[in-house]
Copies of this chain bind each other. A is one copy, B any other.
Amino acid sequence: MAGWQERLAGVRGVLLDISGVLYDGGAGGGTPIAGSVDAVARLKRSHLKVRFCTNESQKSRGELVALLRRLGFDMAESEVTAPAPAACQVLKARGLRPHLLIHDGLRSEFHQIDTSNPNCVVMADAAEGFTFENMNKAFRVLMGLERPVLIALGKGRYYKETSGLMLDIGPYMKALEYACGIEAEVVGKPSPEYFKLALQELGVEAHQAIMIGDDIVGDVGGAQQCGMRALQVRTGKFRPSDEHHPEVQADGYVDNLAQAVDLLLQHTDP
């Protein structure tokens, strides 16, 4: 593999995944990953543009940013690309009225959306909210529609909390897809539209941007498919087998965000 100088040449903007890169969620809000608070601060003081690009769909952006600020991160709501606001744009553009299969923490993101007489289902990472009753309700709404539309905020398999691995939205999306014989539309990583939105908000071209994430498929593979470069951190849900993934090869593997920022500051030109 080429040296870092070559691999990072021309990078002007950085997209940062949040969960598993900045912090691990868990009881009491979670724990910052060692070195990440300082790494974000250094990145923001540098010549590089920075934006946070998350699939977080349990909490509203406001709640998420408040939590991260409590953990010490310098971050504003306006710096975060999140799937719920992106989904609201889709719903409005297509005149869709969703039945919401979401965590209560996310409801505020949809307060401007008409949810009467639903003609689609929007699902997010509902975690404990993925009860049989809630799943069955969403299933029945879909089966009652002539052309069922299921919009999923991400399709991640799992993520890591301080207590261990947690099922993400993807498995539950697959469950409803199979039950109804349909395919969901994904708003969030690795959807190309979503990465393009984040890039637009970051304000650089794809070839000038690098994604840093802990998900070899959702973060690294998705960003690369949009023409970006991507680093995988060995934190969060990283597993050693990710470095030999059959389909995706990151542009680099780093121990954590701190190391990624060291390399970026050292090997990119102001």
Contacts and interface: CB of A to CB of B under 8 A. Distances in A.
Contacts of A170: 178-179
Number of copies of chain A assembled together: 2
B165 A140 contact: yes
A263 interface: no
Interface in A102-128: 126-128
B167 A132 contact: yes
A136 B170 CA distance: 13
A127 B172 CA distance: 15
Interface string A118-157: 0000000011111111011001100100000000000001
Contact of A132 (B127, B165, B174): B127
A135 B180 CA distance: 20
Nearest to A180: B157
**On chain A, which size bracket covers the interface?**
20 to 34
Given A132-B130, A139-B158, A171 B176 contact: yes
B167 A174 contact: no
A42 to B, nearest CB: 34
A248 interface: no
A181 interface: yes
A164 interface: yes
A136 B168 CA distance: 10
A139 B129 CA distance: 17
Nearest to A139: B167
A41 interface: no
Contacts of A165: 136, 139-140, 143
Contact of A167 (B127, B164, B175): B175
Given A128-B131, A128-B132, 10 more contacts: A131-B132, A139-B165, A139-B167, A143-B165, A158-B179, A167-B179, A171-B175, A171-B176, A171-B178, A174-B175
Interface of A: 126-133, 135-136, 139-140, 143, 157-158, 164-168, 170-172, 174-181
Q: Which 9 A-B pairs have CB atoms at the shortest separation, nearest pair first?
A: A171-B175, A171-B179, A174-B178, A175-B175, A174-B174, A130-B132, A128-B132, A157-B179, A171-B178
